[in-house]
Copies of this chain bind each other. A is one copy, B any other.
């Protein structure tokens, strides 16, 4: 057991730090061209798609260096390494693993260069946790598929140019063989027959959309992987999730802001930071976040050693979901009426940012597979308990 880093790893960490010293000025000093330059510089370093193979344009980096890169970026609250978020997180890895050479050549460079946005289409109105029950269908017509149906909860859809989506090309209406007959397609969002309808969430943001497909024609060349084998593509992209290092740093930084808040806030004349229940709750958050950090490192060690993981990542997902809800609610629970006021409302604390946090958790908590599903995964796959 060893929490030290090798000399090479430390050197890489220093390289990242030096880079950030040079290229990441304080927020108020950033000019209008900052973001463009930033993206160009990190692209030059091959830090975009850091773990992707060098032959497709990635960095070919190993897991440990990736952890270091994420840690340092998160610690300095650096902007993302590319703006094509879904492309970098989900679509790119899928194309690299299952795509044809043409698809790789066509899509990967654009993702790395932040050319345009991608979104992903899994959920449907009657299909939530039970992803394989999807009904959006695509029928073959010569060298095209014709899509009819709808996708919902599609993040970024209002600004994306492409969608990587799952459709049903076979086994319509079969409950038993529902995992078969699913196909993954890459679809340009300006195709005729597509309508995108934004969905407003309870915090008033429009980050999601429902997309309607009415006889949308997609070339067979845009199929990702084999026909009917789209479930494997999805599974592999879900399994693509690595340890939650960046997340942990973000949670620590959220915890720091809570600590800062309770230090400067008084109630009945005393700082909230002196209140025993406040102190205990913050310490409990710290224990959970530190557990996430260490769980992540323990599982990472297993991966580096080539020992297969089962579904251990669900452990940190459950912590994350709890913490999102609890930390999101914590500030407003101790700030009284003022804490509940949102932006531009009378008496709001910190311009309503805590109140906004208290309404922001569901996209994380529900989006990543509900806690109940995560518990089923642990119970069934790790503890070998019977299925529901």
Residues of A within 8 A of B (CB): 275-277, 280
Q: In the complex, what's the smallest C-beta–C-beta distance from A385 to chain B, in angstroms?
A: 15
- A280 CB contacts on chain B under 8 angstroms: 277
Q: How many copies does the complex hold?
A: 2
Residues of B within 8 A of A276 (CB): 275-277
Chain B residue numbers with a CB within 8 Å of A277 are 276-277, 280
User: For the complex, would chain A's binding face be called helix, strand, loop or mixed by DSSP majority?
Assistant: helix
A-B contact pairs, 5 of them (CB 8 A): A275-B276, A276-B276, A276-B277, A277-B277, A277-B280
A277→B283 CA distance, assembly (Å): 15
Nearest B residue (CB) for A276: B276
Q: How far is the CA of A277 from the CA of B277 in the complex (A)?
A: 7
Assembly CA distance A6 to B83 (angstroms): 76
Q: How far, in angstroms, from A276 to B276 measured CA to CA in the complex?
A: 7
Write out the residue numbers on chain B whose beta carbons fall within 8 Å of the beta carbon of A275. 276
Residue of B nearest to A275 (CB): B276
Assembled-state Cα–Cα distance A277/B275 (Å): 11
Cα A277 to Cα B284 in complex, Å, equals 15
Q: Top 5 closest A-B pairs, CB basis?
A: A276-B276, A276-B277, A277-B277, A277-B280, A275-B276
A85 to B: closest C-beta gap in Å: 39
In the bound complex, how far is the Cα of B276 from the Cα of A275, in angstroms?
9
User: In the complex the two chains form, what is the Cα distance from A376 to B276 in whole Å?
Assistant: 37
Q: Quick one: closest B residue to A280, CB to CB?
A: B277
Alpha-carbon gap, A238 to B280, bound state (A): 44
Bound together, the chains give a CA A276 to CA B277 distance in angstroms of 8
Nearest-Cβ distance from residue A276 to partner chain B, whole angstroms: 5
CA of A280 to CA of B276 in the docked complex: distance in angstroms? 11
Assembly CA distance A276 to B275 (angstroms): 9
CA distance A251 to B275 in the complex (A): 30
CB distance from A379 to the nearest CB of B (A): 15
Q: In the complex, A149 Cα to B357 Cα: how many Å?
A: 61
* Shortest Cβ distance from A388 into B: residue: B388
Bound-state CA distance A335–B280 (Å) is 19
How far is B276's CA from A277's CA once the two chains are assembled, in angstroms?
8
Query: In the bound complex, how far is the Cα of B281 from the Cα of A28, in angstroms?
Result: 48
CA of A275 to CA of B279 in the docked complex: distance in angstroms? Answer: 14
Q: Complex Cα distance A379/B238, Å? A: 34
Q: With the chains together, A277 CA to B279 CA distance in Å?
A: 12
Shortest C-beta distance, A299 to chain B (Å), equals: 32
Min CB distance A274 to B, Å, is 11
